[in-house]
Amino acid sequence: MAIQPVKTAIVGCGVISEAYLETMTRKFKILNVVGCCDLNQRKAEIRAQKYGIRVLSMEEILADPSIELVVNLTTPTAHYGVIKQLLEGGKHVYTEKVLSVELEQAAELVKIADQKGLYLGAAPDTFLGSAIQTARYVVDSGMIGEISSCACTLTRDSELFSRAFPFTAQPGGGIGFDVGIYPITALLSILGPVAEVSGIVQTRQPERYQLSPEHFGEPFRIECENLMSGMLRFHCGTIGTLLFDANSIFTQPEKPNLILFGTLGILYMADPNQFGGDVKVILKGNNEPFVMQQSHAFSGECRGLGVAEMAWSLRRGRKNRANKEMAFHALEVLHGIVRSSETRTSIVMQSTFEKMPPIPRGYSGQNFFDFIEEAGIAL
């Protein structure tokens, strides 16, 4: 029997919405995107015209019982209010990262979803792509042995980003919460939950000045972290270090380092902000890395893959992979690093999550058909 597509709407029609709509309207048969909403009517009209959907108000979305799932793509400071309204209106919600800026608010959203029996998912969903799934395949196979430690470094230029994207200067838009969440989620998906964190967080040179011609010389303030260093102790025994620095340079493409050190080898992961990329391995007794063949699909830009996977989970009655528990735990890791910096103590995590099965391997043998059914690719 054919599976009924999930009628879906989008709230927030900013820059990232185009990437989501490209994927959601053209790659996945499980999603039926019917409308979009934005406080800026013109933005909504542009997206609606390009993708053949309707412009809807929040009230119309909430009043339409046929719309089961809403994707929240608003700025981080708006997440709590928007998600709460949608959950209380009986809608399943998938949101851009992070769940909410404040941990207590995120906990409330998780509680509401649980009480109402609703799905609540969150980006990043890049961990469902070919690169991170291939890295997990390597780790799960035992190829590099037991993972004793891991490390991540990431740089950006807050001068550049805060002027081009003002939300990156606001709470929730800093280097840790806006970008560091990608490697943290990648590590959680492979290694499982974190037991304890410690760290140092700073906002260097918070007073800045606009350089654009129309606002040249106007002062503005960076209200979020632009330097974060952390140490993680995972329940599995792995020790990890993080360094996120937005006072450095931005390269295109970005070149973060995310490395897993095992007793039998070392794994160099691709940029966790992307779905694809080379996964490299050095095995014990060798000096040069080799590039692993990709074991999984989704190597191209695929924002919204987590939405489709959640829609299939909804129809199949199972837990989605980019779920609220892992998203909340990733947020608690970030807040734990902040609290550790403030109190100069290590912080024990209070939350946990169930590490979900990997995405089924695609394009090989019998698993191909299971993969098509689960991922919902329109061939």
Instruction: Write a three-state SS string for the chain.
Output: CCCCCEEEEEECCCHHHHHHHHHHHHCECCEEEEEEECCCHHHHHHHHHHHCCEECCHHHHHHCCCCCEEEECCCHHHHHHHHHHHHHCCCEEEECCCCCCCHHHHHHHHHHHHHHCCCEEECCCHHHCHHHHHHHHHHHHCCCCCEEEEEEEEECEHHHHHHHCHHHHCCCCCHHHHHHHHHHHHHHHHHCCEEEEEEEEECCCCEEECCCHHHCCCEEECCCCCEEEEEEEECCCCEEEEEEECECCCCCCCCCEEEEEECCEEEECCCCCCCCCCCEEEECCCCCCEECCCCCCCCCCCCCHHHHHHHHHHHHCCCCCCEHHHHHHHHHHHHHHHHHHHHCCCEECCCCCCCCCCCCCCCCCCHHHHHHHHHCECC
Q: Spell out the residues 6+ positions from residue 341 whose beta carbon is closer than 8 angstroms to its own.
A: 199, 200, 201, 202
CA dist 114 → 82, 123, 124, 183, 198 (Å):
17, 19, 21, 27, 30
pLDDT score for 162: 77
pTM equals 0.93
CA dist 372 → 134, 316, 336 (Å):
18, 14, 39
Separation between Cα atoms, residue 21 and residue 23, nearest integer Å = 5
User: Which pair of structure tokens corresponds to residue 128?
Assistant: 């469902």
pLDDT score for 252: 79
Peptide bond before residue 124 is cis, with ω within 30 degrees of 0: yes
What Rg do the C-alpha atoms of the chain give, in angstroms?
20
pLDDT score for 122: 98
pLDDT score for 373: 59
CA dist 183 → 88, 139, 224, 354 (Å):
31, 16, 19, 18
Separation between Cα atoms, residue 341 and residue 319, nearest integer Å = 34
Instruction: Write a three-state SS string for 204-257.
Output: CCCEEECCCHHHCCCEEECCCCCEEEEEEEECCCCEEEEEEECECCCCCCCCCE
Q: How many residues does the chain have?
A: 379
Separation between Cα atoms, residue 14 and residue 154, nearest integer Å = 25
Separation between Cα atoms, residue 161 and residue 171, nearest integer Å = 14
Separation between Cα atoms, residue 240 and residue 237, nearest integer Å = 10
pLDDT, one tens digit per residue, over 313-356 is 999 999 999 999 999 999 999 999 999 999 999 999 999 999 99
Through-space distance between the first and last CA atoms of the chain, rounded to whole angstroms: 18
Phi then psi dihedrals of residue 316, to 5 deg:
-90, -10
Query: Smallest Cα–Cα separation from 47: which of 60, 33, 34, 36?
Result: 36
pLDDT 10s per residue in the chain (379 long)? 578 999 999 999 999 999 999 999 999 999 999 999 999 999 999 999 999 999 999 999 999 999 999 999 999 999 999 999 999 999 999 999 999 999 999 999 999 999 999 999 999 999 999 999 999 999 999 999 999 999 999 998 877 777 777 888 888 889 999 999 999 999 999 999 999 999 999 999 888 777 666 777 777 888 889 999 999 999 999 999 999 999 998 887 778 899 999 999 999 999 999 999 999 999 999 999 999 999 998 999 999 999 999 999 999 999 999 999 999 999 999 999 999 999 999 999 999 999 999 998 864 333 444 455 555 554 4
Contact 141, 148 (CB under 8 A): no
pLDDT score for 308: 95
Separation between Cα atoms, residue 176 and residue 169, nearest integer Å = 12
Beta bridge partners of 33: 8
pLDDT, one tens digit per residue, over 102-112 is 999 999 999 99
Q: Spell out the residues 6+ positions from residue 141 whose beta carbon is closer than 8 angstroms to its own.
A: none
Contact 54, 76 (CB under 8 A): no
Separation between Cα atoms, residue 247 and residue 249, nearest integer Å = 7
